[in-house]
A and B are shown apart, each in its own frame.
Chain A
Amino acid sequence: MWDYTEQVMEHFLHPKNVGRIENPDGIGEVGSLACGDALTFTFKLGPDGRIADAKFQTFGCASAIASSSVLTEMVKGLTLEEAEKITNRDIVERLGGLPEQKMHCSVMGHEALMAAIANYRSKGKVPASAPKTGRIVCTCFGVTDDEIRRVIRDNNLMTVEQVTNYCKAGGGCGGCKGQIEKLIEEVQGEKVRKLRSHPEPQPRKLTNIQKIALIQEVLQQQVRPAMRAHGGDIELIDVVGNRVLVAFRGMCASCKLADYTLKEIVEAKLHEYVSPDLTVEEETDTAERPAAGGEN
């Protein structure tokens, strides 16, 4: 059972400002039913330009509801410039803390506030559920690089696990963990490089048979689990010089993201663990043969 603070329980059991303001000045919608939590945040400005009223509706766990409720309390009476300065950290503090695995609830609150302010400033041109900026990194939960950079910066995060706790990225199949690690390095720079205990893999000269064995091992351990989580699979067909020929199976065979997976995940892993000279290609001739996928 989660160890929730009294403040979290109070806001969960007696949430403040539940509902949706009629004709709001700003509205923000984040999350989805499929993702397990979602929040609609609306506010109305008073004649003095300060937030006069704010309301929320939340689908989610106790900490999601508490984060939303406390946020509506926090923003009341603030100017938009002041409200903009609120981070997810502030929400966590007002709640007296959240379990690490629940930090994403506070981030969701913050995102909804930002979306609502953007919606107001654009006079409604930015829709309530504005498309996210940046490039999708985590395809399971639809988290972009911009979002990941922001949680790393706002919360001084150092590990992939922390990033997952704060924005869910990496919490599904785990295929994007390498990219998250790169983003942490990009934002944190030297601070995190010093923390890393494992040294960079040393480039080494491999015989052909060693190379094939290593490629097989990397596919087996680093790539297949992620693909199988999505109902697919990958098979090594051949290695010709530095060309690695693979075939997608199951769901992956018909997946629109397969090209992306090939380059961003499979090739990246092989570059990291085997050799940067490798290129990965999909062997399409064998992909049609159904027997190869199901039987072995």
Chain B
Amino acid sequence: MERVIYLDNNATTKVDDAVIEEMTPYFGQWYGNPSSMHSFGGRVAKSIQEARGRIAELLGCQADEIIFTSGGTESNNTAIHGTLAAYPRKRKIITTRVEHPAVLSPCRQLEQQGYEIYELSVDRQGRLNADELAEVLDDNTALVSIMYANNETGVIFPIEEIGALCRARGVPFHTDAVQAVGKVPIRLKDSTIDMLSLSGHKIHAPKGIGVLFVRRGVRLVPFILGGHQESGRRGGTENVPGIVGLGKAAQLAQQYLNDENTRVRALRDALEAKILATCPDSMVNGDRRNRLPNTLNVSFEYVEGESILMLLNQFGICASSGSACTSGSLEPSHVMRAMGVPFTAAHGSVRFSLSRFTTQEEVDFVGEKIGPIIHRLRELSPFVKSA
């Protein structure tokens, strides 16, 4: 494939060159084990501490509140299982219907084991109603786990309001912030969040590294057992290059936070305007006023998402879809269904997600191509009478 226009940054991101550069010596040169009792390993331990500090800076928390994990999925699993183990008498988890599978799947398994799982609903715009949470929070609740921002629509949830409700009831609050970090300012010091998951590969660090923030004083039983790494909170020799890379990525994320919210947002808005103007019967999914600055989810009526993606792919344009076909399942995305997006529109939903590497020229190119692609597929469709 020659040219790639990558608008699928909510799936994963390009590793920044500066991150690669920072990581590289830790493969062949500084390969020591940070737990070793020699200065060759000790040097590596120091690098890990530096990285921890950079991430703490990005999140506005203390360095010792950072636990390195293998990624967002492990962070989420750790928060859920580790909290339940810390509160063995409590049998209820509150989450939402639109969570990522990394939260929903463990919850569904726990349900089989007798836990009660309450999934909060969202409205047609994908917004969460915090009042519903207030109604279902009770003394039996072990954990509330609610994503910071939705990966498919980009809709941002009222996290501080939710956290305040939890705090008032003394219930630990975890948020999967994998999509939000680097796109919205987060200051955990002044926050009601008790635990937060972060994934390296969503913020231009490599795959296989993530973080679980655990506020000082929050009870959590270790999930991955092994050595005494991470102060005994997560066993396993540290992914040193990954950690160093994530530290650099966190520093860059902080640096580019403003760019995400100005330039990237403007590009996204321009793409959105162009699509709505050139494609009749298209609509934006999710609350347009309260969204991640990089995410655009559009439904094209009468056409199917996979077909759209494959034609976009012909031009090297990468995006994703909530249609059934792309997932290999037969029903459209659980997020679209939870929002009550009609199946007809959900099957034709496409998500474009930008990053700081996205250029005006790329967005113009996509804006130019999308109209003819939708038109072409509609000509094939039995549901378009005018074709």
Binding site for B on A (CB under 8 A): 2, 12-13, 15, 18, 20, 29, 33-40, 57-62, 64-65, 101-102, 140-141, 164, 168, 171-172, 220-221, 225, 294, 296
Contacts and interface: CB of A to CB of B under 8 A. Distances in A.
A206 to B, nearest CB: 21
Interface string B373-387: 000000111110001
Contacts of A102: 325
A171 B383 contact: no
B332 A59 contact: no
Q: Which 9 A-B residue pairings sit nearest by Cβ, starting from the closest?
A: A171-B330, A61-B325, A57-B382, A61-B306, A40-B382, A33-B344, A34-B343, A59-B381, A36-B324
Contacts of B362: none
Interface in B226-270: none
Contacts of B114: 220
Contacts of A62: 306-307, 310
A33 B383 contact: yes
Contacts of B332: 36
A39 B330 CA distance: 17
Given A65-B380, A296-B116, 19 more contacts: A12-B307, A13-B314, A18-B380, A20-B382, A34-B342, A36-B304, A36-B323, A36-B325, A36-B347, A37-B325, A39-B382, A59-B304, A59-B380, A61-B325, A61-B326, A62-B306, A140-B331, A164-B330, A171-B329
Contacts of B342: 34
Interface in B313-340: 314, 323-326, 328-332
Contacts of B116: 296
Contacts of B380: 15, 18, 57-59, 65
Contacts of A20: 382
Contacts of B324: 36
Contacts of A12: 307, 310
B213 interface: no
Interface string B51-90: 0000000000000000000000000000000000000000
A25 B325 CA distance: 32
B29 interface: no
Contacts of A37: 304, 325
B302 interface: yes
A171 B173 CA distance: 34
Contact of A171 (B331, B344, B379, B387): B331
Nearest to B329: A171
Interface in B295-315: 302-307, 310-311, 314
A168 B330 CA distance: 7
A276 B314 CA distance: 57
Contact of B323 (A38, A61, A140, A220): A61
A221 B108 CA distance: 11
Contacts of B39: none
A38 B343 contact: no
Contacts of A57: 380-382, 387
A62 B373 CA distance: 13
A61 B379 contact: no
A18 B380 CA distance: 6
Contacts of A58: 380-382
B329 A60 contact: no
Given A18-B379, A33-B302, A60 B331 contact: no
Interface in B83-131: 108, 112, 114, 116
Nearest to B303: A59
A166 B379 CA distance: 27
Contacts of B387: 57
Contact of B330 (A29, A172, A294): A172
A12 B344 CA distance: 21
A12 B383 CA distance: 18
Output the residue of A34, A140, A168 with the most chain B CB within 10 A. A34
Contacts of A296: 116
21 contacts: A2-B306, A12-B307, A13-B314, A15-B380, A20-B382, A33-B347, A34-B342, A34-B343, A36-B324, A36-B325, A36-B330, A57-B381, A59-B380, A60-B307, A61-B307, A61-B326, A62-B306, A62-B310, A65-B307, A140-B331, A171-B330
Nearest to B301: A33
A214 to B, nearest CB: 15
B310 A59 contact: no
Contacts of A64: 304
A34 B302 CA distance: 10
Interface in B326-377: 326, 328-332, 342-344, 347
B343 A36 contact: yes
A2 B305 CA distance: 14
A62 B304 CA distance: 9
A33 B329 CA distance: 16
Nearest to A224: B111
A31 to B, nearest CB: 9
Nearest to A173: B331
Nearest to A221: B112
A34 B321 CA distance: 16
Contacts of A34: 342-344
Contact of B325 (A13, A40, A60, A221): A60
Given A60-B307, A61-B304, A33 B343 contact: yes
Contacts of B304: 36-37, 59-61, 64
Contacts of B314: 13
A141 B310 CA distance: 25
Nearest to A18: B380
Nearest to B334: A229
A35 B346 CA distance: 11
Contacts of B311: 13
A40 B380 CA distance: 10
